[in-house]
Amino acid sequence: MAELWRRTPLWMAYAFLYIPIVVLFGMSFNASGLPTVWGGFTTSWYGELFSNDDILGGARTTLLVAVGSTIVATILGTLLAVGLERYNRSRVVDAAVMAPAIFPDIVMAFSLLAFYTLIGFTLGRVSVMASHVIFNLAFVASIVRTRLHNFDRSVEEAALDLGASELRTFWRITLPIISPGIVAGALLAFTLSIDEFVIAFFTNGPAHPTLPVVIYSMVRFGVTPEVNALAVVLIGLSFTVIFVAQRLGGVKELFT
């Protein structure tokens, strides 16, 4: 019993973090659509999501952008991880690769928009995708790098010793062993891209808004019931993806 008492600060933190989410969850089933009145249980708001063209369009766009940026970021990020862990000795390069992950998104968004305008890059799904790759590759690189760091290099030497060239060693030995890290990194990049708002907002352009941008325009004018349902769906999706990524290992090491 004393245990639970001593753990109060943690419970309070969890309460703070999760009560809003629980509230959203509850409200998404509220038929009245108002937070103050309980109108009965319904799933109609979820149904509404599927008939809302803006939301569906946003979802499609977001998915495209997320998949595209994840693929590119995973390839670049994995290569970077290998390079940083095996070949690089410069702390500057190290910091440069990790920088996008902690860079304030408003600065990135603003400068990217200025840059795209200057070079005449059409704003649309590709511009958002390209922008997302920037911070995604930093996260992928970081996670894969942790995997590489804990990797027993003598296994690679054993492969070389047994007759495999450097390339075949990478393909048959290194890559399979670090693949859980690569997948975890990819899942993380995917989630980040789906949820990302600020950079998308700046670099999206008029057509094909991403889902967060759609949500923003809906939310600016107050509480709407469909948004509750959408919120729950998105939260559920993020939770699932992160949970899977966590299982594969590597996400915790990112922050500890």
Q: Which of residues 178-217 bind other proteins (CB under 8 A)?
A: 191-192, 194-195, 197-198, 202, 212, 215-216
Candidate segments 41-49, 50-58, 63-71, 88-96, binder of other proteins by CB under 8 A: 88-96
**Residue 108 structure tokens:** 């990135």
Q: At 30, is the secondary structure helix, strand, or coil?
A: strand
Q: Which is nearer to other proteins, 44 or 252 (CB)?
A: 252
Residue carrying the six token digits 């595209």: 68
Closest CA to 57 of 199, 252, 234, 214: 214
Q: From the DSSP assignment, how many helices (H) and strands (E) are in the chain?
A: 14, 0
Return the axis-axis angle of helices 225-248 and 8-27, rounded to nearest 10°.
130
Centroid of chain to Cα 112:
19
Map the footprint of other proteins across residues 231-250, applying CB under 8 A. 231, 234-235, 238-239, 241-243, 246
Map the footprint of other proteins across residues 129-168, applying CB under 8 A. 130-131, 133-134, 137, 141, 152, 154-155, 157-166, 168
Q: How many CA atoms lie within 13 A of 122 on its CB side?
A: 5
Q: How far is the CB of 51 from other proteins (least distance, A)?
A: 20
Q: Which of 23, 43, 149, 207 binds other proteins (CB under 8 A)?
A: 23
Candidate segments 41-49, 50-58, 71-79, 142-150, binder of other proteins by CB under 8 A: 71-79
Closest CA to 86 of 149, 162, 142, 144: 149
Map the footprint of other proteins across residues 111-130, applying CB under 8 A. 111-115, 117-118, 130
Q: How far is residue 151's CA from residue 61's CA, in Å, rounded to a whole number?
A: 38
76 binds other proteins (CB under 8 A): yes
Contact string 34-53 vs other proteins (x = CB under 8 A)? xxx-----------------
Q: How far is the CB of 3 from other proteins (least distance, A)?
A: 10
